[in-house]
Structure 1
C-alpha cells in the first residue's frame, strides 16, 4: 500500500507514479493541526486575531511546505484597482526606447494600469516568449515597440483576446487591420537632409545606417530604411552602411573617410545610438565637427544637451505617441484608427550642424 504525504511542495507516491502539485492552504492547516480559517487569519493578518503560538505554528508549517499564496485567487477575492499592461521594448539602454518606456509607464499609471516590461534585444524568439508569458499571467493589453516578430505576437494576442498596440515600427504583417502608432520617419529623413541643403548649402551628404537584412540582423532597419527614403528624396548622397551598433558606425565612418580624398560636407546618421560614434569617428580622422563635417541625427534626448557638441536632431512627439498607444490598447474600437496618419516630426537645432545657437524647433514639411 502506498503512502502519500505533502513535503516541500510535492505529493509523493511510493508506488510507480510520482506526481507533484503546489501545496495548498489546506495542506498547511493539516500539517499545523489547525483549521484552514486559522491559517487564513495568520497569512492575511486578519480579520480575526490569533495567538503568538498559533501564528508560529502556522508559519513553521508554511515554511516547511514552501507554501506560496495563489496571487490570482487572492486578486479575485478583493476589489481590483490596478490592472496590468505588458510592454515589449527592443533595448532600454537606447535613449529613444527608454524615453518611450518611461512615458508609456506614466500614461498607463494615470489609467490605473501597472506595466510589466520585457527587454527583447530585437530577438524574435525572446519577443514571442515575453508575449506568451505576459498573456498567460493575465495582462489586459500589450504594447510592442519596434516589433520584429509581428505575425506570431499578433496570433498570440488574438488567441488570448488581448488587445495590442504597435509602436514606432514593426517587422512583418498583422492578421487584423491594426494601425501603427509612430512618427513619420520618411518626413524625418527628408527634414534632416533639407536642413543641411537649404540652411547650410551642403551638396555632398552621406547617410550613415543599415536598412537591409544583410546589413542588420538585430536592429531597427525598418525605421532606418524609411529615414533613408526621405533623405534620398532630397539628395542623391553616399550610403555608409553599418550594422546599427555604435561600434559599427565608428568603424564604417572611419573606413569611409580613409578611403576618400575629401570628407563629405555632412552626415545624416540614421539612429540616435550611432550619432556619437559617427561624430567621434569624424574627429578621430582629423576633420572638425561642424567646421568641416556637419552632422544631423535623430531622437536626441535631453542628456545630449550637455555633450561637448550638442546634436542637431529630428525629434518624435514621444508624449503624443505614448498617449495614443495607451488609448489604443485600452479602447481598441476607436473609430479613427484605420485612417490615422504617421505623426509629424520636428528638427531641434544644435551645434553639430553648425547652428551654434539654440532656436525654436523647426517643423517637418511635406
Structure 2
C-alpha cells in the first residue's frame, strides 16, 4: 500500500477503510482515534496514526461536520490593518485557534465602513463556523448584529446579541492608568497625553485611563494632542509640545507615536529623560533598542487570545456548563531608560 493509491485505474485519496486495513483494526477504531475518543490503547492509537501517515490520510472534516452538526472552525472578524496591536492579536488568535484543534476563517473589515462588522459576520455564517471572534477596534456606529452562536469579543464590543458573549483581556484603560501613575510617582506634577484616533475603542480607553489617574491624584489634565498611531504623528505632537517648559512627562498611546515624539523632543533640544520623560504602550519589539530604550506597558496578546479561545471553545462544546472564572492578569510595566524624576527647578 502506498500513497499513490488507485481505484478503477484512477488515483484516489486514501480512506479510513484503507487505514484500518493497514493498521489491522476496524474502521470504528480508526474513527475513535481521529475523534480522540477513549477506549483505545496507546499502542493501537499509534499504529493507526502511523498507518494514516504512511498513506497520507487526512480526516474528512466535511463528513465529520455533517455527522456532528459542527464544522470545527472558528471565524474571526478583524480590521484589515498592519498596525502592531491588531496584527499581533490576530496572529495570537490564529495560534490559539489551531492549538484548540479548530480551523480558522478570517474576514477583514475596512475602516470607514459602518456595515463592515455585520457584513463580515454574515460572510462567516454563510461559510459555516461554530463560533466567532470579534477583534474590531473601531467604533463605526453600526447597528445591532444578531448571531446564533457563541461570540468572543476582544476589546470593546460592537452592539451584538448572541446565545453567549465572552469577553476577555486586560483593560487598555487600566494599562494607561499604570503608565500615567508611573510618571506621577517619579514626581512629575502632571502628565501630557498623545492620544490615538478617538474612533478607536482602545484610544478612548487609554485616554480615559490617563485622565482617571490624574483626577485620582488631584492633578490637572493638560490639553490632549491626538495622533493617528504613526511615528510621524508622534513627531508632529513632539514639535507641538517641545517649546512648552512645563511639559516634563508624556504618555503616548502607542510605542510608534512615543518614538516619533522622542525624535522631535531631541531635535528641539529637550533631553529624554533629562528634560522630558516618555512612556509608550504595547512594548513593540524595537522599543528596547531605540535611544533611549522606551519605558512602556506590555499588551499580553498571546495570553488574552489563548484564554479567550479556551472560553469560546468551552461555550461551543459545553453550552449548558457555566464558563470558568479567569484570574485577573497583572499589569506589565516595562521600565527602561526613557523615564526619570523631573529635573530640580533652579
* TM-score > 0.5 by shorter chain: yes
- Asked if the contact 1:87–1:117 (Cα under 8 Å) also holds between the matched residues in 2, the reply is yes
Structure 1 residue 186: Cα displacement: 3.0
Q: Secondary structure at the match of 1:96?
A: helix
State the 1:217 CA deviation: 3.8
SS class of match (2:8): coil
Given candidates 233, 240, 243, the residue that maps to 1:248 is: 233
Is the contact made by 1:190 and 1:230 (CA closer than 8 Å) also made in structure 2? yes
2:293 aligned with 1:310, yes or no?
yes
8 Å CA contact 1:309–1:352 kept in 2: the answer is yes
The Cα of 1:47 is off from its aligned counterpart by 3.4
1:326-337 map, 5 Å: 326-332=309-315, 333=319, 335-336=322-323
Task: State the aligned residue count.
Answer: 279
TM-score normalised per structure 2? 0.68
* Structure 2 CA distance for aligned equivalents of residues 125 and 299 of structure 1: 29
- Counterparts of 1:239 and 1:176, CA distance in 2: 43
Alpha-carbon separation, structure 2, partners of 1:268 and 1:146: 24
Q: Alpha carbons of 1:282 and 1:171: their partners in 2 closer, same or farther (altered >3 Å)?
A: farther
2:204 is aligned, of 222, 233, 241, to 222
TM (norm. structure 1) is 0.65
Tell me the SS of whatever aligns to 2:154: strand
What SS does structure 2 have at the residue aligned with 1:170?
coil
Contact 2:192-2:221 within 8 A present in 1 as well: yes
Moved more, 179-188 or 118-127: 118-127
RMSD of Structure 2 on Structure 1 (CA) = 3.4
**Does residue 276 of structure 1 match 2:236?**
no
Any stretches of 5+ residues in structure 2 without a counterpart? 12-59, 342-346
What is aligned with 1:294?
A: 277
SS of corresponding position for 1:169: coil
Change (3 A) 1:111 1:345: same
Q: Does 1:203 align with 2:189?
A: yes
Residue 348 of structure 1: how far off its partner (Å): 0.8
Q: Which of 176, 184, 192 is the aligned partner of 2:179?
A: 192
State the partner residue of 2:333: 347
Contact 2:281 2:298 survives alignment (8 Å):
yes
* Structure-1 separation of matches of 2:276 and 2:195: 17
